[in-house]
Structure formats: structure tokens, C-alpha cells
Structure 1
Amino acid sequence: MQLCNNKKAKRLYPDLANKRLSPTLVNSVSILHNPHQHQRQQPLENTFSTMALDQPFKYDVPLIGTAPPVHDFNQPIPTPSIPASASVTLSLYSQCDAMFQRCTLNSLPSSAYLLKRSKLPLSIMLEPYPRNQLENVEVPLITTGVVSRCTRCKSFINPFIQFIEGGLKWKCNICTYSDNNVPPAYDWDHVTQQKSDRWSRSELNYGCVDYVATPEFMSRPPQPPVYVFVIDTSLEAVQTGMIEVLAEALMGSLDRLPNAEGRTRIAFITVNHAIGFYALRNKDPELIVMSEIDEVYLPRAHHDLVVNLNEARAVVLDLLDRLKTMFTVNPHTYATTRNNNCLGPALKAARQLLTPTGGKIVCFQASLPNMGIGSLTAPTKKGHGLGDNLLLEPKSDFYRSFSEECAKYHVCIDMFVFGSQNIDLATLNVVPRFTGGQTHYYPGFNAHNKGDREKLFFEIKKLVKEEIGLEAIIRTRCSPGLICKSYHGNFSFQEPDIFVLPNVPRDASYCVDLAIERELQGDLAYIQTCMLFTTSFGERCIRVMTTCIPITRKITDVFYAADQIACARSLAYQAIDKAVTFKVRDGKEYLIQKTVAVCSAYSKEIIGVTPSKNVQLNLCRSLSLLPTMTLALIKSEAFNDTGVVPLNMSNQSGLLLRTLPLSLWPRYVYPNLYSLHNMPIQAGTLDRNNHCIMPPQLNLSSERLDRHGCYLVENGHRILIWIGREAVPQLCEDLLNVSRVQDVRSGQVASLPELQNAFSERVHRIISKLRTESRHSNFYPSLYVVKEEGDVMLRHWFLTHMLEDRQQPPQGCSPSIHKSINATTSYFQWLNYIKDKM
């Protein structure tokens, strides 16, 4: 690659100029950071062409004495290696893309005994409705009305079935039933009265297909998109300024709501000590206040309160414009002198509005509900203490029973929670948890802060314009011997093996733990997940995702074919369940024990050495990042038991660990660190595909931080820019438009100043790329400038992202805590701990 000689783009600061990467390494780094390279579907023929690339994962990696191989986070997603003949059509796309369905083990152990020896988790990661689906993977839509299913197990025909009896019948690959009739339409088109080519049918060539549902899959007409916005207008909510921001965001987003068919409906409720309904059928919006909150009823006809967006657009815009000034901190305005809130009755009213159709409730809550059913008291604990309390522990049974009612009527709830630590995030999250919704948390929100304002504005716009799936049910079927043991994610159950999603958010992530009930027969196993849902455009569809995985009787194949990111995610789900059911400490100990068990099993089963203090700690490369990720989980705010993390912050971390899509989850667990002051000359520029080239990723260690350097760390939710104590004036001027480092101000900013120099432009492109990549979730990263000798709290916050470091224990922490694995443990202490425990 020829380097650019433009000196304006080559500003060098007098620090580490001689340590810049060579052009060859820069080229390889730019390839590693191309997100489109490893997310595209891998054709089946490429599986064999890349087997040589898989060979490096079959050697031992010594962990002690070396830094974690962080560039392996950017490796292509590992996929099962199956013979081309496994597919009935020899299709290149017979395997379901890992974007939709991904197994922790790409070679399944043939028996429960073999799985137990490996100590590895066996789970399926599901993301049935990914946001970037249209960009990378084609999902054929079958509109012929021909849906062929197995007579015995009801699984759908797929590329891995077998035609028998001269092609008149097909043998199910899931249950091996062989008396399924081939539909006549596979060979004869009754519309054109011509022969059909069965081998060209999408369901026999693609591992992921969508069917237009036939009447047998519909109990009622497809649900229209219906939105009810419930807005807290108590004194505390008004003081945050969030009402004005959400009104502006909704005004700018009405045309982006999924409304292609003109079927979208909308309603508004405001809540403080009373419930405010809004009639929107006339020329002007009309407020109806209901102060009786014990027995909630609809004060007007349903069609007056829930209106068609196209028909009432002008009235809705008028209402939103009035909301910006209707509620202010003024004793003469409506009900803002009191800090009372009756959220429970308001949610029941919103559910009544959605009972005929189903839909989504979007709730904006800034104060603690203290009136009527569902009232709460302020949390008394400031943090996790020493891990003796539960993670995400609700304080009221009302919200769980209410969410069950919502699921029956296909009602989903999203929560936007604002305010101080007095609000009970864990309890308010119960309704999104069991209705398939999401929770956004804004600690200390203040609309006068441009960074807070921008984050809320963009996240509201992202949420409301999202093309969601509606009234969905999901079921996973497996080959004989495999069973679905447990499920993780935001949903509720209809039957023990069917979970219900009133809404399917884009990139919603779920996990299904599998168990081997009896020995697996044959050489291949199959997993098929089906989702019946309604699109935002009113089309009832069935998404069928089929994955074929080889069966092995060698434990070496089990380890070498492991997907370490999926394994870490599976362990995180199980640890969160333990922290929710028992104590936070139990979840942390589960992560520790499982990591030690996997390392010990590898040493015994693969290396062939009984674990001892004299044995090197090795893992195969396909699992070399597992100890890194489990330590990062232990150090996360969710499992931090040192007593310094506020309760709501740890609960928010637990929510993100449970709900983030798998494409964003690794960088939330182990953030990306980039050096800006000496980044390669290509970094921050655009490649031939108009994508920003990122700097090389660094290990999260303070050893990488130079006192005159400038660094960026990001985890998809926050971006922190570190300015070293001896940063040269030219760097400060080029990046922040200040003449010296002493003039740099720490704190949150909406954006960096846009300056007319190459360095500023390149950094802006990098930040823009990081924020643009967040389009794969509904979260918008906040931006902070952290000066090394500036705000002490911000400096400490940045350094907590250096996960490989040993950190100072918090004040008041008992000496016994120092001896256990916790947030103060370094990476090398962690490895030695594993080795000792082995």
C-alpha cells in the first residue's frame, strides 16, 4: 500500500513518532477493522477454502507472560465445517448465517459425558431480527403459500432434508421421520401450468428464509403498529428538562415511524398525581385529567384517544409543541409543584388503550412512583456492598403480574428512566424484561447539558423509527438427543419451550441452553429455530433458521471448534441468572469456577498433563480470550462487589450484559483502546469503500498510556478521550483548540470542536464511525474529555477501563476482600490464580 505524502495529514507530535506502525502492519490492521468483512455470510465452499486458516487455532497459546491477543476479537465468526453434500441442493447458503443463530460449539460432542469432560457451555445465541440484515445477508421471502412441515415434529423443510421414494417423499433431518409428502407445487406450477424446478426453491437453498404466513398461522388480522407514550410530568421530571427534549425528538420522528401502509396509531398519557388523557380527534388536543387512580377507566371513546397518525398528524404536532412549555416549574402551571407520581395506574390505562390491537408503550419516568398500585420506596443501598444482595432485585410484585397481562394482549413496554439513585431501576425494568422491551437509563440527566440532551434526542429517534416485529412467538427444535434446557433474554413463556415476544426489537439477543439427553447418532446434528411474527408493514411472516453442526467423538475437536465469544456470553447469561436468583457474589464465583474448570480440562484432556503448579497455563487459540473476557465480566459494574458502584449503575450493566446484540457485546465487556497522537497515517481516513480506517486496537493496560499521549477508549455506550499530563501544545491546539494542556477542561461534551486541520478531521471521522456503528443498537455513545491531572473522578473512571491493571482497592474495603478475585485484580494475578486453583 502506498503511503500518502501529504504533510498536512502527517502531523507528528514529539513523542513516539518512531514507533508508528509499518505500512504492512497498517494494512493488516485496516483489514481487521473492516466490519463488513467478517459479518457477511460465509458460503459453504469457503468453509473448506478457509480450513487452512483454522489450523492456527489448533495450537497451544501460553497465557502467562503474554498480553491477551485482543486482535482476535476482530477475527471472522467461527462457523461449523460441514461437507458440501450435507445440503440436498449443494447450495452455497444452506447454512443459516451466524448473524441469526450461533452455537458455542461448532463441533458437538456425541455424548453428555464428553461435554462434561470439556466443561464448555453448550448454548445457542439467537438474534432473529438483526438490524444490519439488509446490508449483509439476503433472506428470501417465499410468497407461494406452500409451507411444507414434518408430519411428526412440525419442523420446516430445509436444505438438509433428504428426498426419498423417487422424490415423492422427504425425510426430516430433525426427527428422521420419512413419510412426509413432497408438495405437488414443487414439481408443477398450477398457475402457469408448467413444470417447476424444485432445486431452485429458496427453502432448499437457504438456511434462513421467510414465509408469508398462511391462514393456519393467524388467529386474527395482522396487528398495526400502535404507540402509547406515557410521560412523567412530576416536579422532578420537569426539573430534568427531559419533557422538552422528548417532545422535540418525537416531532422530528413522526415521519420516520413505521407507517408505510398508513396503519400506525398513536396516543399520549401524562402522569403525576393524576393521569392525563389526550383526545386528538378534533382540531385542537383536549386534556382530560383523571384524579381517581384506584379504578382506572377510559374517559373517552377508544378512537378519540388512539388516533391514526396520518389523519391526526397536525393535532399530534400541536400537542407535542405544547408539551414543551405546558409543564414548567411554576406554581401557576398544571401540577408541577408536587413530586407525586402514579405510574402503576397510568400503565394500566395505557394497556387498556392497547388491549384491542396490542402495541408498544414507551414510558419516560424521572421520579419514583409513590402513589397508587405499584408505588415504591427509594432504595436504601448505595452499592453492592460486598456482593450480598441480588442483582436486578425488584421491590414490587405488581410489575411482574402487570407484564404477564401485557404479554397476553401483545403489549410491549420500553422504559426511559432518568434521575438520581433514588429511582428503582431494577423494579421498573421488570415490565420490559417480560414483554420483550428495552430499558434506557440516564443517571443525573440534565437537559442543560448538551451531551445528555443529544444522547436522549438520538436514542428516542432511533427507537421510534425502528421497524420492529410484532406479536411474535419463537420455538427451537433439535436433533434427537439434544434438548432445550433453559432460556435467557427479555420475553415471557407461552409454553415451556415457546417464548412470547409482544415486540421483537432489532438486534434483540436471546440464549437457549442445550443439553445432551442421550448419545447423538450419525455425523451431523441440526438445530432449527422458527419465529412467527408480524412486520411493521402488516405482513404475517415465519422466519425459519436452520443450522447444521458436525458431531464429534474427539474432545480435541470440541475445544478447537469452540466459539469463545459465544461461550463467554453463555457463561455471562448463567452468571447473571445466579446473581438475580441468589447473590451477586454467587454469579461472580460461577464465572471464576467455570473458567478454572475449562482451563483445567484443557490441560488434562488436550495437553495430557495433570494440572499442577509447575505446569504452564495454556489454551488453544480458539479459547485464548476466554480468561480475559471472564475477568472483564468480574470487573464489570454488574459483578463489582467492592461497594463503590451505585446500585442503579450495576443494574444497568446487568441489563446491557443480558440484552446487547452479540456484535456489540464483546466491546462492551472489553472496550476498545486506541492511541490517537501517533496513529498510523491511514487511520481516520476513508478507504476505497468510503469506510473509516480505525487505528490498531491496544491492550487495556496503563502501560500503554504515555504521559504526553492522547488516547480514546470506547465500549459502545461511552467514548472517553484521555489527554496526558505532558501533552504538547500542538496536539491540544489541533484537537481541542486550546494552547496548552493546562487549559483543557475535563467533562462531558456533545462533540469535539471541528477545526481546520488534518488531525482534527481524522479524529472526528473515528468518533463518527464509533457513533454510527451504534446504529446496530438503540444506544448513542456519550463523549467525555478526561485530562490526566483534571477531575479525579473522571480520571479514576477512565482507569477502571484498564482491565488488565491491578487497581487500588476502594477505601474501607476489608483486607480479606483483597485476597479474592475482584475489580482490583490484574490480568496476570488472575492467570496465576487460575493456575493455582488448577
Structure 2
Amino acid sequence: MSEGSRLPHLQRPYYQAQEPIPTPTLAPQPKPIQKEQKLQTETLPRPLNRQDDHLGVFTAIGQLPPSPDSLFSVKEQGLSNPRILRFTMNSIPTEMSMCSNIGIPLAAVWQPLAELSTDDEQIQKIESAPFRCTRCLAYVNAFFKFTDSGRKCICNICGLSLDSPEVYMRDRASKPELYSGTYDFKAPADYSNRPIQVPLFLFVVDVSTPALQLRIIHQVIASIRNILDSLPYPDKTLIGIITFDNSIQIYKIAANGELIEIVMTDVDDPFISESVSGCCYNAQNDKEKFDALLYKLSEWSFPNANKQSLSVGGVLHAIKEYLLKNRGGRVLFFTSQSGTIGKHVIPQKQEFKPMHNEREKAYLPADNYLQLGQDCCAEDICVDIFACTHQTINSASLAALCSQTGGDFYYYPAFQVEADGEKLYYQIVRILTRQQGSQVVMRARCSNGLAVDYYIGKYKRKGPVEMEAACIDSDKSIVVIIKYDEKLNEANEFFLQCAMLYTNTQGERLIRISNGKLFSTRSIPNILKAADIDTIANVVVKISAQNIFEMPLNIIRENWHNSIIKLLIAHRQSLGDNDFSKILVPETLKLLPLYCNSALKQSALTLSVIPIDQRINSLYNILSISVYSSRLLLYPKIYSIGDIQSQSHQPGTFSNNTILILPRLVGDSHEYLKSDGIYLINNGEILVIYIGKDASNELIYNIWGFDSPQDLFNNVDYWPITDNGNEENEKVLNIIQDVRVRNPSAYSSICMFFEGLSGDDRIIKKMLVEDNSASELAYGDFLMRVHKVVLNKISRND
């Protein structure tokens, strides 16, 4: 083990020299007195590489996948792009007990529609009928072994010998399915009895009196109008809008240009009299007509608005039964409340103080909303709910409904259109423009000796081994947890194949295939060298989030702590290192304690008192988060833009290969945010510009045009950075644009924070994940505590 793979020495504060703890022997000896130890926090491992250098071409043959936030291109050689498929371990133990002993789950994170780099080898579509194994039903791939001059082949998943189709008896080198890791087959007609779904986006907006006061409808209409010209396939896309309060309203434009409101007043069983053709418009052919409707609606005063509102479930039930039945589509639902009248009314979840040592029933959804979500999925209806509210709502039920369909729950507490409108707009843009598939059925297959245990994600279970969802998009990932059916032979290859039947936005029915390969070994050092820290963190945080519905939070947190302790013990024992003054962590997994400590500070898993809606929102966001997004969530990037001129690598300018150079990164702690600095903080969802109280007046002037941080703070309307032709201004604009483009999901909105002036610092504290909180340890203290537990366990075992 090289010295560079160990964490720094633990310095004892009152002694220059360190006396090693005696190695335990068989003879009983008194335990040495443990003196308080203190970490040099500045030397702890952090992901502070700038990631603006191109790493070259990745082939996945004998290589660990690059960091998900790095710049690289991929040439697939039988294995899927790591943006699509990543494993927690690329070398796996020969038996399940070894997995348990090292505290790392065997799993894969599959993101079937992940966005690829323009330099990546793109996914090819195969027009011929898919060739499959007749026993395990695996699809042909690069690891099928062809014998007898191509007349026979052996399935790499189950080992069955098959007769090869004639197309594979010659010219196999030109077949994408035999050299790529990810590819699409055109689905035969008999693979699905559903009619092909044309993309449809239906906006359903709350116009009750409380919602009108929040101006939700006006922000939604403005967002739709701005995005109409940017829809990917407008000629194939339908888009519509309806509203509701204590009734459901549909709108039309009369021949004289006036707005006609059609009101459906049945409360107990809401009915929608119009068909899709009466409510929705083709985004290309009917664009002018729909834009005119939106314009009239933006000026409509909603004179009959009622304070009471139909329940969310009641409105969705009506849409499912009378508007989108046997048709499907994506529903974007905007509400200020759960609803108090009509069908599927659910009680408001009252705020409570969680016990953490017992299962919390408050996290569980209402049964009728679970069933409604499953019914929507069966009708190919995907639901996204935007809760723009100033009250506690039943987010447990609403989020579960969305998740059952493959949709998302977006929570805006204390919604204000001035503060939240930009973020809401970008999320709508993302939903309407990202790659997505509908009518989705998914499953994974493993080589003999391994099997799929269960999945984690946003879907509806279909039988014992399959998942289905009304929609899946480029931001969604699925975790495949793998179990052992038997002990594996050492030094063998094992395979995972994930398959997804879906309809793309162009109306084609396709089967997407992704392939991965693993190697078996009994060597713990080899297992740890081939472990992927970012995938492990993603999987474990998802397991923890899913378990919160079944077990107490204390147990979940303890399980993660124990997995870290098992890893450190197994690693130390594999090295035979008895120098207990060091914390030994595998080089590939040196960030795991940091990620664990950060994850346990997230709203979903913290012991702090968190509003229930905020906790539920965090839980469901985690369930489908990508590996790239979880890296930014667990350790946000903080760029020091306040010293862009003094940094020798010239951040904000372009290198020779046209890649923008980013500023240096600093640690996620108040310790590294200097009062004379300006920082850009990015957690993948929002960007925060942090301005120190003593920040350079000259730089403030060059970027914003104001004389001091105080002057800028007093002029809210000028906080957005505009182009003023100044060099520093141009560099900062370049940096913000580049960070936004690189972010894995929605185009991030920007918040401003002024040290000593901005009153609410909760968002900053949330992003500074190394610092302690009311209930959580700081990074260094957490690592110190884990180390002490490791030493105690080793001492007891000896």
C-alpha cells in the first residue's frame, strides 16, 4: 500500500512525537489510555479536482470508469458507456459473505436514456428483428461466442448453445450489437399490444383563490409561451392546459377571438366533457391558436375563483377516466394545496417530531393514492406534481403517486413567483425538452450464479422481475441490486444485461439494450481497487432512502456507519497494517466517509427536525438521482471566482481545445469561504453566488456595476449579471454558463447570498456539507469517531 493511499496522520495536540499503540498479543495486557486525537482537516480527502481537462477516450476495457463530472469521450467495445451503466464493484467477490464483510453492496446504476457527450460514440438503431437466447431471453451482444464458422453461438448469460441466424454467419464485424455496449432494436409488432403514443403534455393548474394570490397560473403560462419554439418534435407533440378550483375548467377561443370557459361542476365525481382534440393543440400546426389561447388566459381575471379546491387525486382521476384513457400522456400538475373537496380527498399530514427509533407512519402514502398512481401507469399517464404552497400538504401521498408513474414531485415551500419563478421555468423547460420514452417496460438479466434481487427507482413493479413506467427520461436512473445464487468460480467473467422496451418521442417502438461485465476474485485488495466510489455512494443513499418506509431512521443510519466500519476493518486486515495512528482507507474509496457524512445530513436522512414535506421531497428525489447528480448533491462544487485574475491557469478563458477553464475549487466549509472572496456554489440544482462582506469593490463594480457589496445588496433588480463588455464580467458569465451547461439536469437558477447582509443562511449551511449542524458531526469529527470504533473493534477481536 503506497503512502499516498493513506489519509493523513492523526496529530495528538500536546505531543510532537507519536507513540504507536502496541500490537495486541495473546497474553492479556492493560489497554493503553487513548488520548484525544485531532485531525488536520485541511489535508482530508476532497473531490477538488477542477475537471476541466479532457481525459481522452474511455473504452471500459480494464479501466475504472472516470469520475462522472469529468470530461471524457467513450468508444464502446462491447460494454455500455459509464454514463449509462456503472457498477459499485467491477471486480466482485466469489461469495456473498465477502460482500457483507467489506460493507459494499453489489449493484449497478442504470440510466438508459442518459445524455451522451457529442464526442461519444452514439447509440445505433438496428432495423432487423432482435436475436435472443431461447432459454434466458437475453439479447445478442458482443459476448455471445460464435463457433462452427458462425453457425452456432453460446449465450453469455446462461451458456446455452444456439443456432445462429443467417445474418450472423458472415460480416459480424459490421453489426452494432456485436461491438457496441448499448444499442436499440426496432421492436417487432408482437412485443406490445398498446397503440403507439404520440407525445402529449397537459398542464393542469390550480386557480383557487390562494393559488391566484401566488400567481402560479401566470408563471406557468409565461413559461409555456417561452418554450413553445424549442420543443424537440413540435409536429408530433400535443400540448394543452386546463384549470381547476372547486370545479374543472376548459378553455376555447371563439370565432370573434373571445375566451370561452367551459366549467364542469360535479364535485364528487368530476367529469371532463372534452376529448384530447378539444383540449390539446399540435405544437407546430396549431401553435398560433394555442399561443392566442395562452395570451387570453394570461389576461383572464378568473372572476368565479373559489377558495376551496378539488383534491389532486379527484382531478387526476377525472383526467385518467375521461380525457387520457387509452391514450396516455404526461400531466404537469400545479397546485397550492392537496384539496379539501371531492373524490380522493386526503387528510393533511400534521407536523410531528419523529422518534427516529421506530417506523414512521407519517412517511407512508394513502392507499388510494398508491392505487391511483398504479392506475395512471396502466393508462400510460405520467404525473409530475408541482406543490407551490404556503401550507403543509400530504406530500407522502402526492410524491408516491408521481413515483408510481415515473414522474417527479417538485416542492416549493413558501412559494413566491419573484424568487421561485426562474427555477420553476427551468424545470418545465427540462421536462418538455429532454430525451424521454413512454410506455416503458424494463428488466435486467445476470449470468448464472448471480440474480437480480430488487430494483430501486420510480416505476411500478410488473411481476417478480420486471418494472414498468408510463415514462422514463434522461435524468432517471434505476438501481439493480444483485444477489448470489451460488458461490462463483474465481477469475471468471459475469455479465449483466439491462433491456428496456419503450416508445421514443418520434413514435418509434424500440428496445434499448445495455451490457456490463464483472470479474470474480477472492482478493479483497483487488475488489477495492476496482470499486467505484461515486456509484457506491449513489446506491447506498438510495437504499437508505427506500428503507425509511420500512425501518427506523436510527437503524438506517447505523447500517451505513457499520458498512464504513466493515470496509475500514477489512482493508486494514488485508494490508496487515498495525500502525493505528493512521486512518487507512482504500485509495479508490477515500471519499466514502465524506459522502456518508454528507448523505446523513441530507433532509431525507438527518436526525435534525425537518418539516415532513421537505423530508419526503428529499426522499423521492434521491430514489432516481443519477450518479453525476448525487456527486454534486453530496459534495457541491464551490468555485473561487473572486480571485479569477490572480489564478495562474486563467479561469474564464478557453484552452487550446476550446474547453473553458474553470476557477479553483475550495472545500465545502465556512473555513474556506473568506470574507474578501466571491464564490459560485453548485449543487446540481441551483447556483448560489456567495459574496463576502469584504469582497473587492473593484471586482463588484466590474461584474455588476456597483461600488460595493452593500450597494449591490440594496439593488435587487440588478443582481442578474448582464454583459457589460468588461473582461472580469465576461469571464464570470463564461464560468456560470459553462457550469450550467455541464449540470446533469435542469438549467440551474441563480440565488445571491451576501455575508452579513442576507438574513436566511439555511441554503448556505445545507451546501457546506463538511460543517457540523445541530444534530450532525463535522467531516473531521465524523472520520475521527469512525476511526475510534474501528480500533475498538479490532482490539476486541484480537
- TM-score normalised by L of structure 1: 0.83
Aligned equivalents of 2:315, 2:606: Cα separation in 1:
35
Query: What displacement does 1:276 show?
Result: 1.5
* 8 A Cα contact 2:76 2:181, kept in partner: no
Per the alignment, residue 373 of structure 1 pairs with 343
Q: Relative to 1, partners in 2 of residues 1:664 and 1:362: Cα closer, same or farther, differing over 3 Å?
A: same
Aligned equivalents of 1:228, 1:677: Cα separation in 2:
44
* Structure-to-structure mapping, 1:508-523, within 5 angstroms: 508-521=476-489, 523=492
Per the alignment, residue 124 of structure 1 pairs with 108
Residue 660 of structure 1 aligns with an amino acid whose one-letter code is I
Query: What displacement does 1:152 show?
Result: 0.8
Q: Secondary structure at the match of 1:318?
A: helix
Q: Relative to 1, partners in 2 of residues 1:419 and 1:78: Cα closer, same or farther, differing over 3 Å?
A: farther
Q: Secondary structure at the match of 1:400?
A: helix
2:621 is aligned, of 651, 656, 659, to 656
Aligned equivalents of 2:280, 2:253: Cα separation in 1:
8
Does residue 245 of the first structure (1) align with residue 219 of the second (2)? yes
Query: What displacement does 1:541 show?
Result: 0.8
* Structure-to-structure mapping, 1:612-631, within 5 angstroms: 614-631=580-597
Per the alignment, residue 44 of structure 2 pairs with 67
Residue 626 of structure 1 aligns with an amino acid whose one-letter code is L
* 8 A Cα contact 1:257 1:465, kept in partner: yes
Residue 157 of structure 2 aligns with an amino acid whose one-letter code is I
Q: Relative to 1, partners in 2 of residues 1:717 and 1:467: Cα closer, same or farther, differing over 3 Å?
A: closer
Q: Relative to 1, partners in 2 of residues 1:342 and 1:177: Cα closer, same or farther, differing over 3 Å?
A: same
* 8 A Cα contact 2:267 2:310, kept in partner: no
2:410 is aligned, of 440, 444, 449, to 440
Aligned equivalents of 1:641, 1:100: Cα separation in 2:
33
Q: Secondary structure at the match of 1:536?
A: coil
1:493 is aligned, of 446, 457, 461, to 461
* Structure-to-structure mapping, 1:441-590, within 5 angstroms: 441-447=411-417, 449=418, 451-521=419-489, 523-590=492-559
Does residue 185 of the first structure (1) align with residue 158 of the second (2)? no
Q: Relative to 1, partners in 2 of residues 1:629 and 1:203: Cα closer, same or farther, differing over 3 Å?
A: same
Moved more, 675-684 or 153-162: 675-684
Residue 322 of structure 1 aligns with an amino acid whose one-letter code is K
Query: What displacement does 1:413 show?
Result: 0.7
* Structure-to-structure mapping, 1:208-247, within 5 angstroms: 208-247=182-221
Residue 528 of structure 1 aligns with an amino acid whose one-letter code is Q
Query: What displacement does 1:232 show?
Result: 0.8
Query: What displacement does 1:576 show?
Result: 0.6
* Structure-to-structure mapping, 1:154-165, within 5 angstroms: 154-165=137-148
Per the alignment, residue 147 of structure 1 pairs with 130
Per the alignment, residue 247 of structure 2 pairs with 274
* Structure-to-structure mapping, 1:288-437, within 5 angstroms: 288-301=262-275, 303-327=277-301, 333-335=303-305, 337-352=306-321, 353-381=323-351, 390=360, 393-437=363-407
Query: What displacement does 1:63 show?
Result: 7.5
Q: Secondary structure at the match of 1:209?
A: strand
Aligned equivalents of 2:437, 2:94: Cα separation in 1:
36
Q: Relative to 1, partners in 2 of residues 1:705 and 1:533: Cα closer, same or farther, differing over 3 Å?
A: same
* 8 A Cα contact 2:276 2:324, kept in partner: no
Query: What displacement does 1:692 show?
Result: 2.3
Query: What displacement does 1:686 show?
Result: 2.2
Q: Relative to 1, partners in 2 of residues 1:301 and 1:649: Cα closer, same or farther, differing over 3 Å?
A: closer
Query: What displacement does 1:134 show?
Result: 5.5
2:684 is aligned, of 706, 713, 716, to 716
Per the alignment, residue 787 of structure 1 pairs with 754
Does residue 265 of the first structure (1) align with residue 242 of the second (2)? no
Aligned equivalents of 1:805, 1:185: Cα separation in 2:
61
Does residue 97 of the first structure (1) align with residue 81 of the second (2)? yes
Q: Secondary structure at the match of 2:104?
A: coil
Query: What displacement does 1:73 show?
Result: 8.8
Query: What displacement does 1:395 show?
Result: 4.9
* 8 A Cα contact 1:139 1:209, kept in partner: yes
* 8 A Cα contact 2:200 2:239, kept in partner: yes
Aligned equivalents of 1:759, 1:453: Cα separation in 2:
28
Moved more, 711-720 or 206-215: 711-720
Does residue 801 of the first structure (1) align with residue 754 of the second (2)? no
Residue 576 of structure 1 aligns with an amino acid whose one-letter code is A
Q: How many residues align?
A: 738
Query: What displacement does 1:80 show?
Result: 5.9
* 8 A Cα contact 1:80 1:107, kept in partner: no
Aligned equivalents of 1:685, 1:258: Cα separation in 2:
31
Does residue 834 of the first structure (1) align with residue 786 of the second (2)? yes
> Any stretches of 5+ residues in structure 2 without a counterpart?
11-39, 64-74, 791-798
Q: Relative to 1, partners in 2 of residues 1:769 and 1:426: Cα closer, same or farther, differing over 3 Å?
A: farther
Aligned equivalents of 1:659, 1:391: Cα separation in 2:
23
Moved more, 562-571 or 219-228: 219-228
* 8 A Cα contact 1:278 1:288, kept in partner: yes
Q: Secondary structure at the match of 1:268?
A: strand
Q: Relative to 1, partners in 2 of residues 1:652 and 1:781: Cα closer, same or farther, differing over 3 Å?
A: farther
Q: Secondary structure at the match of 1:485?
A: strand
Q: Relative to 1, partners in 2 of residues 1:58 and 1:229: Cα closer, same or farther, differing over 3 Å?
A: same
Residue 410 of structure 2 aligns with an amino acid whose one-letter code is H
Query: What displacement does 1:92 show?
Result: 6.0
Q: Relative to 1, partners in 2 of residues 1:636 and 1:251: Cα closer, same or farther, differing over 3 Å?
A: same
Q: Secondary structure at the match of 1:71?
A: coil
- TM-score normalised by L of structure 2: 0.86
* 8 A Cα contact 1:58 1:560, kept in partner: no
Aligned equivalents of 1:541, 1:425: Cα separation in 2:
34
Encode CA deviations 1:563-601: one digit per residue, 9 max, x unaligned. Answer: 011111111011112223233333333322222222222
Moved more, 266-275 or 128-137: 128-137
2:640 is aligned, of 669, 675, 692, to 675
Per the alignment, residue 24 of structure 1 pairs with none
Moved more, 402-411 or 389-398: 389-398
Aligned equivalents of 1:657, 1:63: Cα separation in 2:
35
Does residue 171 of the first structure (1) align with residue 154 of the second (2)? yes
Aligned equivalents of 2:533, 2:3: Cα separation in 1:
11
Q: Relative to 1, partners in 2 of residues 1:653 and 1:265: Cα closer, same or farther, differing over 3 Å?
A: same
Query: What displacement does 1:302 show?
Result: 5.3
Aligned equivalents of 1:703, 1:618: Cα separation in 2:
25
Query: What displacement does 1:525 show?
Result: 0.5
Q: Secondary structure at the match of 1:417?
A: strand
Aligned equivalents of 2:520, 2:786: Cα separation in 1:
30
Identity %: 24
2:176 is aligned, of 184, 194, 202, to 202
Aligned equivalents of 1:177, 1:289: Cα separation in 2:
62
Q: Relative to 1, partners in 2 of residues 1:400 and 1:599: Cα closer, same or farther, differing over 3 Å?
A: same
Residue 803 of structure 1 aligns with an amino acid whose one-letter code is V
* 8 A Cα contact 1:283 1:315, kept in partner: no
